[in-house]
Amino acid sequence: MQFLYWFIGAMVLGAVEIFTLDLTFAMLAGGAIAGGVVALLGGPWWLAMFVAIGVSALLLFGLRPFLLRSLRLKGEAEPQTNAKALVGRAARTIDSVSESGGRVKLNGEVWSARTEEDAPSIPEGAEVRVVRIEGATAIVEPESEA
């Protein structure tokens, strides 16, 4: 009858895995199933416990990293967020922009901006492209150079 507790525990861990999607609880559920099999075959409770811990550890540290890497490789490219998502986007200068500073309208917001060193000044109202983001400053270049 002890094996039922192991299998019920495995089902609970599997249900928790559905909500986390981290594969941690799935590996623990695998260990609980292994402990349940030992109990079903008539092994003592301490042997079932050691088998469950050992199988869980093997799955967590052996199989889980491989599965996570495989899932990330098969998935689409990670979406760019925050400042990384703004690189390459078009903007319009609000003020004249030089290597010492200026402002642009980027993605509906006003950003401080500057050009690369030794680049010519960009006049107000010009279309520019974001080369990179440094802190809260967009480094831009004229649209024609992009």
The first and second tokens of residue 68, run together, are 């996570």
Q: Which of 29, 46, 74 is the last residue of a domain?
A: 74
Query: pLDDT grade, residue 146 (50/70/90)?
Result: very low
Query: pLDDT grade, residue 43 (50/70/90)?
Result: very high
Same domain, 68 and 87: no
Same domain, 88 and 56: no
Task: Report whether pLDDT(71) > 50.
Answer: yes
Q: Write the CATH number for 127.
A: 2.40.50.140
Task: Report whether pLDDT(77) > 80.
Answer: no
C-alpha to C-alpha distance for 75 and 109, rounded to whole angstroms: 32
Same domain, 112 and 134: yes
User: What is the pTM (predicted TM-score) of this model?
Assistant: 0.51
Q: What is the pLDDT of residue 75?
A: 55
SS3 assignment for the chain: CHHHHHHHHHHHHHHHHHHHCCCHHHHHHHHHHHHHHHHHCCCCHHHHHHHHHHHHHHHHHHHHHHHHHHHHHHCCCCCCCHHHHHCCCEEEECCCEECCECEEEECCEEEEEEECCCCCCECCCCEEEEEEEECCEEEEEEHHHC
Q: What is the pLDDT of residue 79?
A: 61
Same domain, 138 and 97: yes
Q: Which of 74, 92, 115 is the last residue of a domain?
A: 74
Same domain, 88 and 65: no
Dihedrals phi, psi of 37, to nearest 5 degrees: -65, -40
Average pLDDT in the chain: 88
- Domain span at 96: 82-145
Residues 81-136: tens digit of each pLDDT: 677 778 888 999 998 998 888 999 988 889 899 998 888 889 999 999 999 888 88
Same domain, 92 and 41: no
The domain tally of the chain equals 2
Q: Which of 74, 105, 135 is the last residue of a domain?
A: 74
